[in-house]
Amino acid sequence: MLPQETIRRKRNGEPLAPEDIARFMAGVTDGSVSEGQVAAFAMAIWFNGMAREETVALTLAMRDSGDVLDWSDIDRPIADKHSTGGVGDNVSLMLAPIAAACGLAVPMISGRGLGHTGGTLDKLESIPGYTIMPSADLFRRTVKDVGCAIIGQTADLAPADKRVYAIRDVTATVDSVPLITASILSKKLAAGLQSLVLDVKVGNGAFMADAAEAETLARSLVAVANGAGVKTSALITDMNQPLADAAGNTVEIANCIAFLKGEKAGTRLERNVLAFAAEMLVLSGVERDPAAAERKAAQALASGAAAEIFGRMVHALGGPADLLGKPATYLSTAPVIRPVLASEAGYLVSCDTRGVGMAVIELGGGRSRPDDTIDHRVGFDRLLPLGTKVEKGDEIGRVHAMNETDAARGAERLAGLYRIAPQAPAASPDILTRISA
């Protein structure tokens, strides 16, 4: 079928056959389908949506536009996790080595910061020598020998998605559930996964601020991934405050190291990490009981096994061998670090979480344009969780900045993003909903 006929049928709300979708995506990959035709196709999907079968076909066609990794030589379940993005969300950094310590192989393909959210790759670039784009051989060898590797998407994985996304970004068709679903899953399926756990964020620091919209996306992702042959579930999690007590790049790596050393026990971050580890273990068949799976993950953390694997992964991918033992030797610090103080006594009752992410960008820790250079050193740490009681003048966090002017501006900005009230807020759950096939 000609590309324009495929566009016409979708424009008219007719269902598309898998072979027509595959042919159209092949044209996207080899360039025979024009940019205008891709834009028209995306807009037709935006208006008319896609049935599950169509979205599965689109996802598989985008997956098959490039290489699909084969891990048949690894005698472990191949598993991964994907987050839709948040502030202070460094879960992947700790989750991958915990899952590996529990017997999974985790080939994690991650991305850079998007909008106000931080990117795992930007955080890892804070580590001197760490190679986020290794050769295919080094990636494979690291996963096989260490158990996990966190890297960026190579040009050979789902190239059709790269072209489609670039066009969606400038044609107001980003916020289409079928297109979001296919974009996320095509890359994950190209990584050769057997199981996948999705972290769909909801709240004022997430791309999905509305709970119903988050559930719609989560259900689409789960249905399509399972329909494409990858066992998948999703947890919808709260993003109404930073997840870690740090937001930035180097500060989140430092937070990760502290976490792996057992210094973040009892935190909201630990509860999230262990919940996702348990979900990965159950979904992959390593454990049957969620409680037993969470105990196994907690033991991998407490024993130091996860920390050892993280250190081995860093070294295998070009970073220092003794990062965990000597983080201060390798992690650069901002020239100015100053406390952010509470303006009054009371309880921290709410946070403009998106504002925190934007404040990191304003300090230089994120991108306003794709070609911007970021300062990995800047950001915030020692952030107190909501519900904490403070006195006037107490430290509610610290700002890391490149100069005194930025530090003063950042401190004022952060203080204004928290609301303090006389009464403690009602406790809210970390994980709101679990969705499975």
Can you read off the two tokens belonging to residue 350? 């709410």
Active site residue 82: yes
Query: Minimal CA–CA distance to 75: which of 53, 51, 96, 105?
Result: 105
Count of H-run helices and E-run strands, the chain: 17, 13
* HEC readout, 11-59: HCCCCCCHHHHHHHHHHHHHCCCCHHHHHHHHHHHHHHCCCHHHHHHHH
**CA–CA distance from 293 to each of 266, 272, 286, 297, 412 (Å)?**
18, 14, 8, 6, 43
CA atoms of 363 and 358, how far apart (whole Å): 9
Active site residue 238: no
Q: Which of 63, 81, 201, 377 is catalytic?
A: 81
Q: Which of 84, 120, 126, 173 is catalytic?
A: 120
Q: Which of 63, 168, 201, 354 is catalytic?
A: 168
Active site residue 367: no
Q: Which long-range contacts (CB under 8 A, 24 or more apart) does 10-13 make?
A: 10/41, 10/44, 10/45, 10/48, 11/40, 11/44, 11/47, 11/48, 13/48
Active site residue 120: yes
**Do the Cβ atoms of 245 and 383 come closer than 8 Å?**
yes
Active site residue 436: no
Q: Which of 116, 163, 188, 354 is catalytic?
A: 188
Q: Which of 20, 64, 80, 161 is catalytic?
A: 80
- Give rounded-to-5 percent helix, strand, coil for the chain: 45, 15, 40
Backbone phi and psi for residue 117, each to the nearest 5 degrees, phi listed first: -90, 150
Q: Which of 6, 83, 110, 126 is catalytic?
A: 83
Q: 10 Å Cβ neighbour count for 25?
A: 28
Q: Which of 6, 55, 131, 183 is catalytic?
A: 183
Can you read off the two tokens belonging to residue 222? 């789960």
Active site residue 81: yes
Active site residue 126: no
Q: 10 Å Cβ neighbour count for 384?
A: 19
Q: 10 Å Cβ neighbour count for 229?
A: 12
Residues in the chain: 437
Active site residue 64: no
Active site residue 388: no
Q: Which of 187, 264, 268, 312 is catalytic?
A: 187
Q: Which residues are catalytic?
A: 80-83, 120, 168, 183, 187-188
